[in-house]
């Protein structure tokens, strides 16, 4: 009898540890991505309006992304976009959907409100499918997360113009100061600044 109880307890523990929900996976992923000191990764974006690659540094809601065409800084409120071709800096306060299109990690804030989620295992990854409960600029998302590290490797977003796929590589923790997420005009003395706020 004692052996049967032990087996039942072990089975319940195994099922509990195996049976993570989509929300639990996203919560763990959000904790990894929103590391207090920051993180860095490289990315490739493919979609209807964008085809580029680059690097990104993140710290909480702040990020700095660099591509061959532009560098973008976001300090949590203000976004500066430096266009290399014409040496222009556009200053704006972006919406959540605008942030999601340029910051692959913005999903860590979006999933908590207004989405339902399901999950399936694919190889060594979890694939979480998020679907908007009502009309949103991002109606669907798929997030592929490594089962061991909980770092995302791919995000697919569906917006009005179609699907955008963001592949993420070389994700690692980093120690980043807040200045890394703000445009410094001294570094770009010839840039024309256009305030769109």
What would the pLDDT profile of 120-138 be if each residue is shown by its tens digit? 999 999 999 988 888 766 7
Lowest-confidence pick of 21-25, 103-107, 116-120, 137-141: 103-107
**Which one, of 53, 166, 42, lies nearest residue 101 by Cα?**
166
pLDDT at 184 over 60: yes
Percent residues over pLDDT 70 in the chain: 83
How high is the mean pLDDT of the chain? 82
In the predicted structure, residue 93 carries a pLDDT above the cut 50? yes
The contacts of residue 183 (CB under 8 Å, 6+ apart) are 73, 80, 82, 89, 91
Q: Which homologous superfamily does the CATH classification assign to the domain defined by 21-195? A: Lipoprotein localisation LolA/LolB/LppX (2.50.20.10)
pLDDT tens digits, residue range 41-70? Answer: 998 888 877 788 899 898 888 889 899 999
């Amino acid at each position: 009898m004692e052996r049967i109880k032990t087996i039942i307890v072990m089975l319940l523990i195994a099922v509990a540890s195996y049976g993570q929900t989509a929300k639990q996976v996203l919560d763990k992923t959000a904790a990894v991505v929103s590391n207090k000191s920051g993180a860095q990764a490289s990315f490739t974006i493919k979609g209807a309006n964008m085809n580029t690659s680059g690097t990104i540094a993140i710290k909480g809601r702040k990020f700095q992304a660099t591509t061959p065409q532009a560098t973008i800084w976001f300090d949590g409120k203000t976004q500066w976009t430096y266009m290399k071709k014409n040496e222009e800096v556009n200053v704006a306060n972006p919406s959540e959907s605008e942030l999601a299109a340029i910051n692959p990690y913005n999903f860590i804030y979006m999933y908590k409100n207004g989405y339902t989620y399901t999950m399936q295992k694919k190889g060594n990854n979890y694939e979480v499918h998020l679907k908007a409960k009502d009309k949103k600029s991002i109606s669907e998302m798929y997030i592929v997360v490594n089962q061991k590290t909980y770092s995302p490797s791919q995000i697919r977003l569906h917006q009005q113009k179609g699907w955008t796929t963001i592949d993420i590589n070389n994700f690692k923790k980093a120690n980043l100061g807040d200045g890394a997420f703000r445009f410094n005009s001294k570094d770009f003395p010839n840039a024309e600044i256009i305030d769109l706020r």
